[in-house]
Every structure is written in structure tokens, then in C-alpha cells.
């Protein structure tokens, strides 16, 4: 909106055309993902709708044209295939290297992103509470909570490898970690990506009865619940029937 005001602030608002809006949005969203394009279009359209609702009901929203709606619509959100707990457990159990097992567990049990795991230092570890500095959300810090058994193994790994407080616990690059995760999945015959483990952490917690607010704000650390709903994936018919049976047993 700041960019819009800088460009159109001196003009009469009802003189702004759809063609100008199209040109403006194309310039400020060049090189961005479709979801970003959709969000910026939505902000601008909401601004014009505010004018209609509160100032001038006869005003015509220049964003409300078929071509603009089509060009800046959101991409369909895919239904993620959620990996069941017994498969995740087998993947972790069959991972012999302590470093790799810990990386997998921090994602699958703590809901961490792979980038967050790779940035961890011993100074960030306070028993079962991990501190994330400069997280993706833009906050100064966030906290991750992990099971006691994982915390004990993590502390033992730091001690056994004599890792200093300011050193990275896992000094490998993202590509090495991604390849490790992929190989771990191949051992049980599935295609596994780092984010699949984070989605598993959220879905398993949700299906185990953890309130959606805890899944969203504590495990995934999302700003809003709608983002969390994407992570939880599609509930299969067999899962739905099992919950109904348990509810009325």
C-alpha cells in the first residue's frame, strides 16, 4: 500500500484505471510466487472495497475485472499426503548415525524446519526447550519444545562431540541434510522430504487430541490457524470412521 500511495497519491482515486492497476501489480510482483501476487492483489482490492463500504458506494473497484482476478488468483493448495506414525518411527529406528537420527527427530517430534535444525547451537538448548534466534516469522526469537528422550540424546551428542556453545550442532548444508532425509525415506520405500516430517508432527499431535491452538502456536508456530489447516492434510475415510467409533464406543 505504501508503494501504491507513492505512485498514485497525487491522483483522484476514481480516476485510477484497471489498466494502471494491472501495470502496477505486475511491476511490484515481478519475480514473486503466485501466492505473493494473490496476496498483494487482495490487499489492493480490499482497500478499494473499503472505500465503497465506508465512503462512496458508487465507486467502481478497478481490481474487480475478470483479467485481474484470473491473473492474480491463488494457486490451488495441494492435499498433502501425511505419513503415518509407524512409518516415521521405522525411518528413525533404521537411522543408525546419531547426527542424522537427531535431525530427523527434531523435525518429526518437534515440528522444526530443516533450516532451524541446522542453525541450532548448544547455547540454544535448555533441556526440552530450544530457542530459535531470528526465526522465519520475523520475531526476535521463538521456542520449540521437544520430548525428554530427544532432549537427552541431543545433550549427549553435544557433550560427546565437544561442541562449543557458539558452534552449530549440525554443521552441514541444507542440500546434505535434504539428501540424508531422502535416503532415510528410501529405506522404507517412500519419497520423504524434510517438510514431510514437520507436517507429520502437526498431524500426529492433532489426531492425538492436542488442541488446534497448541498445534498452531506451539508446534508449528504459525501466525494464524488457516496456515495450520494446510499442514494437517486430508483426513482419509478410514481415519474419520475410526474417530467416530471411538467417540461413540
Whether 113 is catalytic is yes
Catalytic one of 75, 136, 141, 155 = 136
**Residue 210 burial (C-beta neighbours within 10 Å; 0-12, 13-18, 19+):** middle
Whether 222 is catalytic is yes
Q: Any idea which residue has 528413525 for its cell?
A: 92
Catalytic one of 38, 200, 221, 222 = 222
Whether 136 is catalytic is yes
Catalytic one of 37, 40, 204, 231 = 231
* Antiparallel, parallel or unpaired: β 129-133 and 141-145: antiparallel
Catalytic one of 99, 195, 207, 217 = 195
Catalytic one of 113, 199, 200, 221 = 113
Whether 109 is catalytic is no
Whether 195 is catalytic is yes
Catalytic one of 38, 198, 199, 221 = 198
Catalytic residues: 113, 136, 195, 198, 222, 231
Amino acid at each position: 500500500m505504501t508503494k501504491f500511495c507513492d505512485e498514485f497519491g497525487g491522483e483522484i482515486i476514481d480516476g485510477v484505471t484497471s489498466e494502471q492497476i494491472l501495470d502496477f501489480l505486475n511491476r511490484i510482483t515481478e519475480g514473486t510466487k503466485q501466492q505473493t501476487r494473490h496476496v498483494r492483489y487482495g490487499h489492493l482490492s480490499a482497500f478499494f472495497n473499503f472505500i465503497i463500504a465506508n465512503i462512496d458506494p458508487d465507486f467502481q473497484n478497478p481490481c474487480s475485472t475478470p483479467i485481474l482476478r484470473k491473473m492474480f488468483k491463488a494457486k490451488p493448495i495441494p492435499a498433502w499426503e501425511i505419513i503415518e506414525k509407524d512409518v516415521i518411527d521405522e525411518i528413525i529406528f533404521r537411522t543408525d548415525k546419531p547426527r542424522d537420527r537427531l535431525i530427523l527427530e527434531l523435525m518429526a517430534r518437534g515440528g522444526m524446519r530443516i533450516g532451524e535444525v541446522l542453525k541450532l547451537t548448544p547455547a540454544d538448548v535448555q533441556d526440552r526447550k530450544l530457542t530459535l534466534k531470528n526465526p522465519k516469522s520475523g520475531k526476535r526469537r521463538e521456542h520449540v519444545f521437544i520430548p525428554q528422550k530427544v532432549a537427552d540424546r541431543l545433550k549427549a551428542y553435544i557433550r560427546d562431540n565437544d561442541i562449543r556453545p557458539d558452534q552449530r550442532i549440525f554443521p552441514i548444508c541444507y542440500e546434505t541434510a535434504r539428501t540424508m532425509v531422502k535416503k532415510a525415506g528410501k529405506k522404507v520405500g517412500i519419497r520423504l522430504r524434510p517438510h514431510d516430517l514437520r507436517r507429520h508432527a502437526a498431524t500426529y499431535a492433532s489426531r492425538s487430541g492436542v488442541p488446534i491452538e497448541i498445534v498452531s502456536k506451539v508446534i508449528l508456530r504459525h501466525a494464524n490457524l488457516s496456515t495450520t489447516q494446510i499442514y494437517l492434510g486430508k483426513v482419509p475415510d478410514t481415519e474419520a470412521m475410526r474417530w467416530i467409533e471411538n467417540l461413540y464406543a
